[in-house]
């Protein structure tokens, strides 16, 4: 019953989607879906490379000391330096 979709059914589904969301919002939705897919793909690739480097060395990778030296700050609004405050990063070395 629902196994095969012919060209008529696909066109009907596309028309219904176009009517529901409107032609103006569809490109934005497609763009955000593409960005999400790229982010997911890059994160999955990063997890694979992190896992491969940890497996090869046998120990977890050590963080770069240059990254730890500079504290991060949170700004209240872009360009607002009066509301900026340092952020205390969690220390994962102690267990």
CA angle 50, 52, 58 (to 5 degrees): 95
Kindly list the domain boundaries of the chain, sorted by start residue: 25-55
Q: Is the pLDDT of residue 34 over 90?
A: yes
Point out the least confidently predicted range of 4-13, 65-74, 86-95: 65-74
What is the per-residue pLDDT across 62-82, written as a single tens digit (0 to 9) for each?
666 555 555 565 556 666 656
CA angle 63, 66, 67 (to 5 degrees): 60
Other CB atoms within a 10 A radius of the CB of residue 26 amount to 13
Give percent of the chain above pLDDT 70: 54
Handedness of CA 25, 26, 31, 34 (dihedral sign): positive
């Amino acid at each position: 019953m629902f196994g095969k979709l012919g060209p008529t059914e696909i066109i009907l589904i596309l028309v219904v989607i176009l009517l529901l969301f409107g032609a103006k919002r569809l490109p934005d939705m497609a763009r955000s879906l593409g960005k999400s897919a790229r982010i997911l793909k890059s994160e999955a690739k990063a997890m694979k490379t992190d896992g491969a480097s940890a497996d090869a060395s046998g120990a977890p990778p050590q963080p770069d000391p240059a990254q730890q030296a500079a504290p991060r700050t949170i700004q209240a609004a872009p360009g607002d330096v009066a509301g900026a405050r340092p952020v205390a990063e969690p220390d994962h070395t102690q267990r």
